[in-house]
Structure 1
């Protein structure tokens, strides 16, 4: 009895324990499910659908890949509002941060009389100290301000070549802003004159590395034109300007449009300058050009506010009178008109007197014809020697005391006009002055017109037939670096720079060769070039390298003695490393002992190669020619 009671009690406790355990398991499952559902719903409300929620008993696991660390922390915070933060197990990952794109590196270099400043962002590996030192050396003691920032990113292709070119360009720019990017340099500068502007544009364009995008905006102060001159004529059915001046771009365009209506063909230039006598200059010029067109031939000359209209001999008198009358009534105030219709003149019994001066391409000047007296002849000869050189004058003029009183002035003016040509002739007659020839100055016709008007008056009759030839232009005629390299290699193909045996002293035969090379380099200007020294294989490698370096340096020193610009010319010794012939034979060793001149060309980067492939390269034929000339030099 007692035993059964004990068994009953034990069974009761066992049942109760089982029921409690079952209740606890059920409670945990309910909490687990509620926690999972609650956290899931909270995350979904915030749009965090990437997060995965798992529950294991009282613990809540967050998994998935968060886009950023901030978003991961946000998911943890939201889950903590639903369940105790101590129950949350964070197993989330964060997407690997993408590598930041490299910034656009650029430098703005500003130079003026106060110094040089640098502003911009450069790669960390840029040697800023070396850059500042280069700029300081050309600043002449002025301050160099470095305001650059740096970023630890790889140096982009073409960056170093762009910076080097920008620094070199500042050597010839006193007032400039130079903007530098990889493979691109933009230069804005102020020059002292129109000629200086043209020279800078030519020099910088030639010096730019291949593949570099170069933008030039170089301005020059407007010249003061005295007298303010315009000369338009129609002769033998051909319209042209001997001189054209304007005060603004709008005035220039208006004048050129009027000339085009009058029959002018092709491109014409009109100098924009200071000194205009009236704001109505373009109006008066247009009206005068229209009058010449109405007459069909003739010439109109402006000298400040004085206008001279000369019709062609034989022009209908009524047409001339009507045209001149209309022009006089239409001209703006200030301008005065002098119109002439030449009448046929009888030729004197002794013929028309004349003075003739001819200038040959070689520089020989001959003076022939008539002069007023002995003093006039001596004055003309003295003036000619001062203008053209004392060793190149031949005087064959005779004295004629019947010449007009203004004859000596006309002769001297004619010689001064001739001095503006490379070669040509000038003829002085009592009522006409004719000048013709060739020049390398595109403004020569305008300068001669202003000279004649200034010295002889606006009523003077003259004819100008001057041809501009680019090969005579001291700026446009500068050979390209490739042409310079080819010319030097042509010399070295037939001649050789030899040295005293075992030394770096050029022998007597080398001096003439170096003289010829120096003349070429003087004409070429400042170009980047390498003088390479080479030896045969006899002797030790180290000694051969040193000897070749000394010989290349000796040639460079010899060029400096001849006053060649050598700032961008380097000397490099290659020793026996680059033979062009077999060192086993005497002929081969002789060929390997040589001096070579080569242009320094930047290595093209993949970016520039892509650019060059997409654009037709105008230097392709030149490069091929350079390769052939180098082969010719190596065959020496």
Structure 2
């Protein structure tokens, strides 16, 4: 009986234990499913879609590849917020980091009147010292601010040619900002005129290396014209401008239409600028030109809003009065008219004649200034002579004036204004009378007539009866007279034909006696800084070929350095040694070897332009080197 009871009890315990195990198993599975689901949902909401969640009993395994270590840590933190941290087993990996990318190399260069500043990052493979030396050469004594940094990464393809072009452009642009990248050079600059802008753009675009993108933004700002001046004359039915200012092309068209209707022949140039006193400037000028034609000739001058009509001294009084009255009525309100019917003008030109009192000044082609005629008193004479010496040079002025206390009011102002006008001439004369000022001469400044008219119209006020007979000669123009590329090389050729460059035997040291020749070449090259030339070194065939090659390269570089020492801008010069490879004479004779030992200056033409005919016609300046007789090795003979 007891045994039966014990069996029953044991069976009950076994059944209970089995039930407990079964319940625990179901509970553990429920916990695993809940944990996995909850963690997966939380990670999904946190956009950790790269995490894979699995369970092993009460433990939760997190696997997958995290983009970064921070992402791995955040995913583990999300899981730890749902289950105990010790139950979250980290099986996650972190994606391998990408290699550090090379930095973007670039240089910003700013140039103005105060100097040059450069900032940026360049590769260590770029010769920094060479870049700074070239910048200092371009700066020509002004301050250079160097804020360049360098990084040890490979030099990008195209970087060196882009930087070289940027520095080359900098030499031509005194006011500019140049941004250099490996595949792009952006240039922002200011030119003095539209013509200069076009020339700069053409020159720069010709020199762009293959594969380099260039962005040019060269502006030619409108000048501020003060006073805003226009002067139109009619003589014998033919019209001409001494000065023409306008605020737009539309205004120019309006002015020229009126001028052509009144006798203007051929083309005329008007300067577009700022400073016009009224939006009706063009209309006012057209009305004035028409009135001048109606009275048959003379001049009309607009100086800001002041208008002076000077008729011919033969104009009938009644006609003059009618036209002047109508013009005063027709001009826009802002303009005021001063009309003059002059007495006949007699020019004696000596300052000593029996006609009206005169002051005369002349300027010779050599720059000598002579002052003659009448001045009011000693104080005025001292002021006039001091002004002339300050303007033209202390030793350039000869004064032989006399005093006349009866001269009209405003005489000193008329004399000083005329002397200021004389400064616009290379040579010529001025004659000052009470009612007339005449300026005659020759100039190399294309804007001289307009400048003289502007000076006299501003300084003379209502007494603006003056004449300007000024001729422009291109040979006197310092810009137009600059030599062409061929003339540059021909000039060097003439110097070298007269005196040869010499070197020490077997060395790249320039002999002391060649200094004068290099000075002359440097003088020529200051007007030829935009001309690309190669300085080529050549030897004869004596000695080893590699030694001759090195010697010729050293000699070409020595000439380049000598020109740089003479403050010649050498950015457009290249030194290259050719050794014995290009003889021009027989190396079997002493005379032939002497001819083959030479330095050549040769034009570098743009790659797209040279042809076989052009290359054969390239001007070359040759210097046959005079060598001292040496008894050493064959290399010394080279």
Q: TM-score, normalised by structure 2?
A: 0.67
Question: Partner of 1:32 in structure 2?
Answer: none
CA change 1:133–1:631 in 2 (3 A) is: closer
Q: What is the CA-CA distance between 1:539 and the residue it aligns to? A: 3.2
| 1:289-325 Cα distance to aligned partner (Å, 9 max, x none) | 1111111211111121111101000112222222112
Q: Secondary structure at the match of 1:230?
A: strand
Question: Partner of 2:539 in structure 1?
Answer: 535
Q: Secondary structure at the match of 2:479?
A: coil
Match of 1:630 among 620, 625, 628: 620
CA change 1:276–1:518 in 2 (3 A) is: same
Ranges in structure 1 where 5+ consecutive residues have no aligned partner: 1-107, 119-126, 145-150, 614-619
State the alpha-carbon separation in 2 of the partners of residues 115 and 592 from structure 1: 44
Question: Partner of 2:19 in structure 1?
Answer: none
State the alpha-carbon separation in 1 of the partners of residues 461 and 429 from structure 2: 21
| 1:488-513 Cα distance to aligned partner (Å, 9 max, x none) | 12222332111234443333432221
Match of 1:555 among 554, 559, 568: 559
State the alpha-carbon separation in 2 of the partners of residues 346 and 552 from structure 1: 66
Q: What is the CA-CA distance between 1:453 and the residue it aligns to? A: 1.8
Match of 2:473 among 469, 472, 484: 469
Question: Partner of 1:301 in structure 2?
Answer: 301
Q: What is the CA-CA distance between 1:143 and the residue it aligns to? A: 9.2
CA contact (8 A) 1:526 1:565 kept: no
CA contact (8 A) 2:503 2:625 kept: no
CA change 1:169–1:210 in 2 (3 A) is: closer
Q: What is the CA-CA distance between 1:408 and the residue it aligns to? A: 2.4
Q: Secondary structure at the match of 2:445?
A: coil
Q: What is the CA-CA distance between 1:167 and the residue it aligns to? A: 6.3
Question: Partner of 1:37 in structure 2?
Answer: none
Q: What is the CA-CA distance between 1:444 and the residue it aligns to? A: 1.8
CA contact (8 A) 2:499 2:517 kept: yes
Q: What is the CA-CA distance between 1:116 and the residue it aligns to? A: 9.6
| 1:339-394 Cα distance to aligned partner (Å, 9 max, x none) | 11113479998333322222233323232333334433333332222222233333
Question: Partner of 2:631 in structure 1?
Answer: none
State the alpha-carbon separation in 2 of the partners of residues 540 and 625 from structure 1: 30
| 1:457-512 Cα distance to aligned partner (Å, 9 max, x none) | 14321111222333333333322223211211222233211123444333343222
CA change 1:333–1:405 in 2 (3 A) is: closer
CA change 1:497–1:187 in 2 (3 A) is: same
Structure 1 window deviating more from structure 2 (208-217 vs 382-391): it is: 208-217
Question: Partner of 1:24 in structure 2?
Answer: none
Q: What is the CA-CA distance between 1:219 and the residue it aligns to? A: 2.4
Structure 1 window deviating more from structure 2 (299-308 vs 230-239): it is: 230-239
Q: What is the CA-CA distance between 1:278 and the residue it aligns to? A: 1.4
Question: Partner of 1:325 in structure 2?
Answer: 325
Structure 1 window deviating more from structure 2 (255-264 vs 204-213): it is: 204-213
CA change 1:533–1:179 in 2 (3 A) is: closer
Q: Does 1:237 align with 2:243?
A: no
| 1:128-181 Cα distance to aligned partner (Å, 9 max, x none) | 99699999997966899xxxxxx99xx9xxx99899656633552765799999
CA change 1:203–1:175 in 2 (3 A) is: closer
CA contact (8 A) 2:307 2:335 kept: yes
Alignment of 1:406-555 (within 5 A): 406-555=410-559
CA contact (8 A) 1:206 1:481 kept: no
Alignment of 1:6-17 (within 5 A): none
State the alpha-carbon separation in 1 of the partners of residues 128 and 563 from structure 2: 29
Q: Secondary structure at the match of 1:286?
A: helix
Kindly report the root-mean-square deviation, in angstroms, between the aligned alpha carbons of the 2 structures: 4.3
Q: Does 1:372 align with 2:370?
A: no
CA contact (8 A) 2:357 2:434 kept: yes
Match of 1:202 among 188, 199, 203: 199
CA change 1:346–1:546 in 2 (3 A) is: closer
| 1:513-541 Cα distance to aligned partner (Å, 9 max, x none) | 11111111101223322212222333333
| 1:246-291 Cα distance to aligned partner (Å, 9 max, x none) | 2222112211211111111222122222222211111111100111
Q: What is the CA-CA distance between 1:564 and the residue it aligns to? A: 0.8
Question: Partner of 1:88 in structure 2?
Answer: none
CA contact (8 A) 2:502 2:625 kept: no
Alignment of 1:259-274 (within 5 A): 259-274=259-274
CA contact (8 A) 2:310 2:339 kept: yes
CA change 1:468–1:248 in 2 (3 A) is: same
Q: Secondary structure at the match of 2:278?
A: coil
CA change 1:488–1:204 in 2 (3 A) is: farther
Q: What is the CA-CA distance between 1:208 and the residue it aligns to? A: 4.9
Alignment of 1:29-40 (within 5 A): none
State the alpha-carbon separation in 2 of the partners of residues 310 and 535 from structure 1: 74
CA contact (8 A) 2:500 2:623 kept: no
State the alpha-carbon separation in 2 of the partners of residues 188 and 210 from structure 1: 14
| Total equivalences in the alignment | 495
Q: Secondary structure at the match of 2:620?
A: helix
Q: What is the CA-CA distance between 1:225 and the residue it aligns to? A: 1.8
CA contact (8 A) 1:385 1:393 kept: yes
Q: TM-score, normalised by structure 1?
A: 0.67
CA change 1:459–1:519 in 2 (3 A) is: same
Question: Partner of 2:571 in structure 1?
Answer: 567
CA change 1:357–1:481 in 2 (3 A) is: same
Alignment of 1:396-411 (within 5 A): 396-411=400-415
CA contact (8 A) 1:115 1:143 kept: yes
CA contact (8 A) 2:493 2:620 kept: yes
Q: Secondary structure at the match of 2:514?
A: helix
Structure 1 window deviating more from structure 2 (250-259 vs 545-554): it is: 545-554
Q: Secondary structure at the match of 2:534?
A: strand
Alignment of 1:47-196 (within 5 A): 165=165, 168-169=168-169, 172=173, 189-191=188-190, 194-195=192-193
CA contact (8 A) 2:501 2:624 kept: no
Q: Does 1:387 align with 2:391?
A: yes
Ranges in structure 2 where 5+ consecutive residues have no aligned partner: 1-105, 112-116, 136-143, 150-155, 627-638
State the alpha-carbon separation in 2 of the partners of residues 251 and 128 from structure 1: 56
State the alpha-carbon separation in 1 of the partners of residues 131 and 410 from structure 2: 58
CA contact (8 A) 1:531 1:569 kept: yes
State the alpha-carbon separation in 1 of the partners of residues 552 and 341 from structure 2: 77
Q: What is the CA-CA distance between 1:395 and the residue it aligns to? A: 2.8
CA change 1:545–1:559 in 2 (3 A) is: same
